[in-house]
Amino acid sequence: MAKLADLESAFDTALRHVQRAISSGMTSSGGGSARPQLEALKTELKRERARALELGIVDHEWLRKTVRWVVEWVPDADLTLVVALGRIVRAVP
């Protein structure tokens, strides 16, 4: 049960970071608005959170793909989203 709570907390933290990045008007590493990527990430995180809490596991392939994708567009000066995704990785067995 503690692992499920850790997983839920990790997803919630990632979602808070995404919302904060949306609210602050984060730009992508390419200089444009990161809002489209952030909105897509928010949708993905919500879907995967529900799935993970229902099944008690995270799709590791989805997580690897998502981390790689975020690293492609997140600015080097703001890696909090990558760190938040790392917390999800650490929460799953």
Query: pLDDT tens digits for the chain (93 residues)?
Result: 558 899 999 999 999 999 999 999 999 999 999 999 999 999 999 999 999 999 988 999 999 999 999 999 999 888 899 999 999 988 876
Domain positions in the chain are 2-91
Look up the pTM and report it. Answer: 0.92
Burial class (CB in 10 A: 0-12, 13-18, 19+), 30: exposed
